[in-house]
Amino acid sequence: KSGEMAKLTKLIDNDVFRAYATYATIVLLKMMLMSLITAYYRVTRKAFVNPEDTEMFGKGENAKKYLRTDPDVERVRRGHLNDLENIVPFLGVGLLYALCGPELSSALLHFRLFTGARIVHTLAYLIPLPQPGRGLPWAAGYMVTISMAYNVLKKVWHL
């Protein structure tokens, strides 16, 4: 059993894998933050979608008026969905890329660019910045994932 543990520890001690684990966790925590921001806007804007969520504001007709959409809530939700659409590919492709044994410097470049791009994307979405303030970081994150996918396919190709 201790031999197996050592083996697992080996993977997590690999520098590239540790970098992947660090940035993957940071970018997932950033995505999870979107849930809290949505909840914050729902409560402060009093804009809910489930009838059972409005009951703390009163019963019956009085509560029903809080079943509405709010532009700020919808904006955060779009940012959250965009995170899912882009972070899921990064997690999957990034893990395989890290296992392909790339140079540490080149792996760090990919992981840092992606993580930075997604943080800027969220800020640009929430502030909101005029375009291409949101489009550019979106494209940067997208290209990073494409580049890692290219490296993975070049290395493992097995149809």
**Residues in the chain, overall count:** 159
Among 40, 44, 64, 156, binds a second copy (CB under 8 A): 156
Among 59, 60, 105, 131, binds a second copy (CB under 8 A): 131
Binding status of residue 63 toward a second copy by CB under 8 A: no
CB 11 within 8 A of CB 56: no
Helix (H, G, I), strand (E, B) or coil at 23: helix
| Residue partners of 87: CB distance under 8 A and separation at least 6 | 27, 28, 31, 118
Binding status of residue 17 toward a second copy by CB under 8 A: yes
Residues 91-110 that bind a second copy (CB under 8 A): 91-93, 95-96, 99-101
Q: Name the percent of the chain in helix, strand, coil, to the closest 5.
A: 80, 0, 20
Provide, rounded to whole angstroms, the least separation between the CB of residue 25 and a second copy: 5
Binding status of residue 87 toward a second copy by CB under 8 A: yes
Binding status of residue 116 toward a second copy by CB under 8 A: no
Provide, rounded to whole angstroms, the least separation between the CB of residue 136 and a second copy: 13
Query: What does the block give as tokens for 109?
Result: 């470049």
CA distances from 2 to 6, 10, 11, 15, 49 (A): 6, 12, 15, 22, 51
Binding status of residue 24 toward a second copy by CB under 8 A: yes
Q: What is the CA radius of gyration of the chain?
A: 20
Binding residues (CB under 8 A) for a second copy: these are 1, 4-5, 7-19, 21-22, 24-26, 28-29, 31-32, 34-35, 49-50, 52-53, 55-56, 75, 78, 80-81, 84-89, 91-93, 95-96, 99-101, 112, 128-131, 133-134, 142, 145-146, 149, 152-153, 155-159
